[in-house]
Amino acid sequence: MAYNIPEKYQDLTPAPQVDKKTLNKMVWLSCFLQASFNYERMQACGWLWGMLPGLQKIHTNKEDLKASMAHNLDFLNTHPFLVTFVMGIVLSLEQNKADTQTIRSVRISAAGPLGGIGDALFWLTLVPITAGLTANIALQGNILGAFLFLIIFNAVQFAIRFGLMYWSYGLGTKAVTMLTSSAKEFTRAASILGVFVVGGLIANYGGTTVRMIVGDTQINIQSLLDGILPKLIPLLITLGLYVLIKKGWTPVKCILLILVCGIVGCAFGIWTGNSQAMDADGNTIPGGYNPLVEWYDYPEPAPAEKTGQQAWDALTAVVTELQNGGVVVTMPE
């Protein structure tokens, strides 16, 4: 990165409260958090898009706006429906012109844990309940199911988006003014939390493994590595990239290196990768893919992840479960 993000903003006078109209605009834009989702920074660019109405109000100094935009492009992955919580906190820090490092540390610390909460709340609770009930209305050929699903889901979604934005912005503004008296210590503490969470992210999101099985005794290299230290490969790759970036490599160069290593590695059958290829019965390729160069035998076909039959069984299981739960389900003849 040619541009060095300054540690402090030039204009350190706290900006006035951001008005309601801007906050609402940010909530609407938060729907597009994942609009430019990518593997490198995930939601970073969509996040910045959503923050911009507020940032433009706060940073009237052009240089400060540049700095703020640059550091708001950090890696970010949080839950798309709970993101306004992070937006409110970060906005209050920006408004009080906290050190950029503090904002970066607080942002990643607040964003990371929300992913798990959001998944449990939405994908494992709200969607199965609403979709399960409304799908049964639809199975009877009634379009009401689709409308009910959309109304319930979006009512909850937007209540949470707006509620979290105003709550966390108010909360953040109160807390930040209290902490600015010990700004230096606060930055240090925030960095500790940030680094701790990044360590957790490496273990939590690091999915890179090898699929190699070698020798007559079929030694599984991955379980060998797991015996030394689980998630060793993700940790080593991250540290390697950290060294490269410290040496002045640009992120693009790092990505190209990973891309080449990934494809060449899979040509030789080194990395675990899922090609998602499926035949009409829903059978996947054992081991995820067929390497271009096969230099070892991949052992017995791993059970297919989800065959058509399994999908059908899952469907009937859900229907039976609903029937047992007292919900009237009529399977169309």
Partner 1 sequence: MEITIIQAILVFVVAFIMGIDQFSFLESLYQPIVTCPIIGAILGNFELGVVVGGSYQLIQIGSMPIGGAQPPNAILGGIMATVFAASLGMEATPEGVGAALGLAIPFAVFGQYAVTLTFTIMSGMMAKADQCAENADVKGIRNINFMEMAILGTLFGLLAVAGLYGGSALGQTLQNFSFQFSWVMAGLDAAGGAMKFVGFAILMKVMMSNEMWGFLLAGFAMALLCSANATTSGATLILCAFVGAAIAIYDFSINTKIKANAGAGNMGGDSDGI
The interface with partner 1 within residues 235-254 (CB under 8 A) comprises 235, 237-238, 241-242, 244-246, 250-252, 254
The two three-digit tokens of residue 216, written as one number: 């007559």
Residue 13 beta carbon to partner 1: minimum distance, rounded to whole angstroms: 20
Considering the rule CB under 8 A, would residue 288 count as an interface residue with partner 1?
Answer: yes
Name the residue nearer to partner 1 (CB basis): 17 or 189: 189
| Dist CA 220 CA 222 (whole Å) | 6
Provide the 8-state DSSP code for 289: S
Q: How far is CA 180 from CA 9, 183, 277, in A?
A: 14, 5, 54
Can you tell me which of 22, 24, 25, 131 binds partner 1, judged by CB under 8 A?
Answer: 131
| Dist CA 70 CA 6 (whole Å) | 10
Considering the rule CB under 8 A, would residue 171 count as an interface residue with partner 1?
Answer: no
Considering the rule CB under 8 A, would residue 162 count as an interface residue with partner 1?
Answer: no
Q: Give the torsion sign (CA, 174, 179, 183, 189).
A: negative
Can you tell me which of 22, 204, 222, 323 binds partner 1, judged by CB under 8 A?
Answer: 204
Considering the rule CB under 8 A, would residue 314 count as an interface residue with partner 1?
Answer: yes
| Dist CA 119 CA 125 (whole Å) | 8
- Which string of b and e fits 16-38 if b means at least 16 CB within 10 Å? eebeeebbeebbebbbebeeeee
Considering the rule CB under 8 A, would residue 133 count as an interface residue with partner 1?
Answer: no
Considering the rule CB under 8 A, would residue 191 count as an interface residue with partner 1?
Answer: yes
Residue of 46, 47, 58 whose CA lies nearest to 15: 58
Considering the rule CB under 8 A, would residue 60 count as an interface residue with partner 1?
Answer: no
Please identify, among the stretches 8-16, 90-98, 101-109, 163-171, the one whose residues bind partner 1 according to the rule CB under 8 A.
101-109
Could you tell me how many residues of this chain bind partner 1 (CB under 8 A)? Answer: 150
Considering the rule CB under 8 A, would residue 39 count as an interface residue with partner 1?
Answer: yes
Name the residue nearer to partner 1 (CB basis): 281 or 297: 281
Residue with tokens 């040509």: 267
Name every residue whose Cβ is closer than 8 Å to that of residue 124 and which is 6 or more positions away in sequence: none
Can you tell me which of 10, 12, 19, 124 binds partner 1, judged by CB under 8 A?
Answer: 124
Can you tell me which of 73, 171, 221, 225 binds partner 1, judged by CB under 8 A?
Answer: 73
Does residue 111 contact residue 191 with C-beta atoms inside 8 Å? no
Can you tell me which of 26, 44, 58, 164 binds partner 1, judged by CB under 8 A?
Answer: 44
Considering the rule CB under 8 A, would residue 230 count as an interface residue with partner 1?
Answer: yes
Name every residue whose Cβ is closer than 8 Å to that of residue 128 and which is 6 or more positions away in sequence: none
Can you tell me which of 11, 14, 180, 205 binds partner 1, judged by CB under 8 A?
Answer: 205
Can you tell me which of 18, 23, 27, 33 binds partner 1, judged by CB under 8 A?
Answer: 33
